[in-house]
Amino acid sequence: MNVQPFSQVQGATQAIVPAATSATLTFSAIATNFNCMRIVNKSSVDVACRVGLASTGAVTALLPVPGTPGDMVVASGATEIFSKGYPIDTIAIIGTGAGTGNVYVTPGEGQ
């Protein structure tokens, strides 16, 4: 099996401070063409993430709780790489509460 190391879109990393309400980041036109994203959660709280197209309506992340499904969780201190697909242009992030520190989102390709 051929594994391609993650290759970032230069200068396209964005940061957000997680909060108890969903907030969004929009990828640049160039970054939208790439299929993966690397999420580094350097904040003090776990976060849930959802990707989508801004043109189809609001993209809102939902925290999973017992009895209610939600979006992909990235634990505090974790780094994850996800496939986002083309032409996804937006990521929404919500924290388990107000956090200190940033969540960094980098578009690119590979794992």
Q: What is the structure's pLDDT at 67?
A: 96
| Cis peptide upstream of residue 69 (ω within 30 degrees of 0) | no
Domain 7-109, second-level architecture: Sandwich (2.60)
Question: How does pLDDT run across 67-110, given as a tens digit for each residue?
Answer: 999 999 999 999 999 998 889 999 999 999 988 999 999 999 99
Q: What is the structure's pLDDT at 66?
A: 95
Domain ranges of the chain: 7-109
Q: What is the structure's pLDDT at 98?
A: 87
pLDDT at residue 3 above 90? no
Question: How does pLDDT run across 4-55, given as a tens digit for each residue?
Answer: 899 999 999 999 999 999 999 999 998 999 999 999 999 999 999 999 999 8
Three-state secondary structure readout of the chain: CCCCCCEECCCCCEEECCCCCCEEEECCHHHHCCCEEEEEECCCCCEEEEEECHHHCCCCCCCCECCECCCEEECCCCEEEEECCCCCCEEEEEECCCCCCCEEEEEEECC
